[in-house]
Amino acid sequence: MLHLKDVSLWYKIPLRVAALVIVTASVLASVLVYRSINDLRDNLTANATQVGRLVADTLVEPIMHDDVWRAFEVVNLPFRSMPNQASDQSAEYILVLDTNNKVYVSNKPDRFPMMSAPAISEPSIATYLKTPAQPWPDELAVVDAPASNALFLLTPIKADGVRIGTLVMNYSKTPFAIRLRSLARDAIVITLLVLAALLPLGVYWGNRMAAPLLDLSNAMSKIGPHLPDPAEIRLEESKDEIGLLAKSFKAMLGELKEKEQLQQQVITSDRLAALGRLAAGVAHEINNPLGGMLNAISTFKRHGEQDPITLKTLSILERGLLQIKETVAALLVEARAQTRPFDLNDVADICTLVQPDTEKKQIDFTREIDLVEAQPISSTLVRQVIINLLLNAFHATQPHGHVHLHIYRDSEYLFVDVINDGSHIPQDKVSYLFEPFTSLSEGGSGLGLWVIYQIVQQLGGLITVQSEPDKTQFTVQLPLEGSHE
């Protein structure tokens, strides 16, 4: 069973706003109806009190002189003098009771004959017609008879402070019920109009309030074994609580992403270092017998029989062994002695050396060299790094593609960017890109990037890769000699 707490905030907040609007409108409508009914009752009571006191004071003399006809004219006077009075403000009938609770006079003698008990015609008033007439109030009172659809205004008729009778004015509750239904109908209509106006605004603002929380929830749900890129997280930052929470979350995600990258770099560096030690050990073990075999072939070619078939076979063996030697040499990248500084002449030499490769595939090779003078770093090693990066870029680029070389520096480092629009490198393969014999294309030995990585490590630098469709960028950062002294 679905509970409200399990409903998404996208629906929960607008529903709560709608419920709040409905409750508020209902309460306001109820209060207005209640106050309107009370105002109507107060107006009726005030009007009846004024009329009752006037009639009661006028009836003193006729009752004292036992002038029934004049008393009858007095009780009929309100109906004759105010014929156009609103029905909800006029009495249905008026009774004058004597001290024995008998009808003395009434404006409706057919219903209430003289000297009769009014309880016979009006049972709801029976409670107040006990003998002796003690229940009657000494002062004017309004009595609501629960068992009757009527209100009674009871006004004592006094002469010299002695009660000589009681004026009973009956008012129907029907106008109240009609007014109540009318007010309730108007209140319902007004409530519906208010809801029609406020609910869309409530839903809109509710969704606006829920949207940042939902964005934050969706962003948090993306955190798993692999952290998302902080640039992919779109959260609204503001100075309220939700905005500050979003800002803190993005900062935390950035720190976690940086930590993950550092951990990955450490793992990659450890793995490459282990592979380097293994490769160096294997290469040294291969070099010993390899050198002996090459010396033996060289000695045989100088002093052995000059048989053409034998010489051809030996040449094939020698080329194969030399290829093995070159491969092994690639695995044994070692720091070399310092050479002259790297300058613009080296850049020109590099462009000349790679020109045949650009012409072969008709590649648009552009250069951006932000250097003026020689740089205090080994030109031999930097040349090898740049040549290998360019050859790797040319190999990955399709015919008529584009390769861009950018060389620049700051106060401490020399930077080399090589950008191509060739094949995209999947993210899961970037971690293994600089391992030996790892090639992403057919025909590659997988040693070019390995050599680059080894040289960059020896120079105390850093190499990074960023790859996306139609753009792959290798960036090498090399410390300049003397910059950290």
Assigned token pair, 297: 């072939």
Give the dihedral sign, CA 425/397/401/368. Answer: positive
Phi and psi at residue 234, to the nearest 5°: -105, 100
Say if residue 307's pLDDT is above 50: yes
Q: Where are the domains of the chain?
A: 4-180, 241-331, 341-479
Q: Is the pTM of this model over 0.75?
A: no
Only one residue has tokens 């706003």, namely: 17
HEC per residue, 320-346: HHHHHHHHHHHHCCCCCCCCCEECHHH
Q: What percent of the chain has pLDDT over 70?
A: 78
Task: Count other Cβ atoms within 10 Å, centred on residue 120.
Answer: 13
Per-residue confidence band for 15, with pLDDT thresholds at 50, 70 and 90: confident
- The H or E element spanning position 156 is strand 150-159
Q: In sequence order, what are the residues at sequence separation of 6 or more whose Cβ sits closer than 8 angstroms to the Cβ of residue 170? A: 91, 92, 93, 94, 95, 122, 150, 151, 152
Looking at residue 366, its pLDDT comes to 94
Residue predicted with more confidence, 12 or 425: 425
Sheet holding 413-420, edge to edge: 364-369, 402-409, 413-420, 471-479, 462-468
Instruction: Say whether 341-479 and 4-180 share the same fold.
Output: no
The CATH classification number of 341-479 equals 3.30.565.10
Only one residue has tokens 């929470």, namely: 245
* DSSP code of residue 131: S
Q: In sequence order, what are the residues at sequence separation of 6 or more whose Cβ sits closer than 8 angstroms to the Cβ of residue 226? A: none
| Residue of 469, 430, 468 whose CA lies nearest to 449 | 430
Give the chain's end-to-end CA distance (angstroms, integer).
70
Domain spanning 4-180, CATH class: alpha beta
Q: Per-residue pLDDT tens for 82-129?
A: 555 545 567 888 889 888 888 899 988 888 888 888 776 677 666 655
* DSSP code of residue 400: T
- Is the distance from CB of 94 to CB of 167 less than 8 angstroms? yes
Residue predicted with more confidence, 372 or 272: 372
Assigned token pair, 48: 């009846």
Torsion of CA 426, 428, 429, 435, to 10 degrees: 160
Looking at residue 335, its pLDDT comes to 45
Assigned token pair, 435: 């391992």
Mean pLDDT, the chain, rounded, equals 78
Q: Per-residue pLDDT tens for 30-66?
A: 888 888 878 877 888 888 888 888 888 898 998 898 8
Per-residue confidence band for 405, with pLDDT thresholds at 50, 70 and 90: very high
Q: From start to end of 294-447, where are the E strands?
A: 341-342, 364-369, 375-378, 402-409, 413-420
Residue predicted with more confidence, 445 or 198: 198
Looking at residue 428, its pLDDT comes to 72
In DSSP terms, 150 is beta-bridged to: 145, 172
**β-pair type (141-145, 150-159):** antiparallel
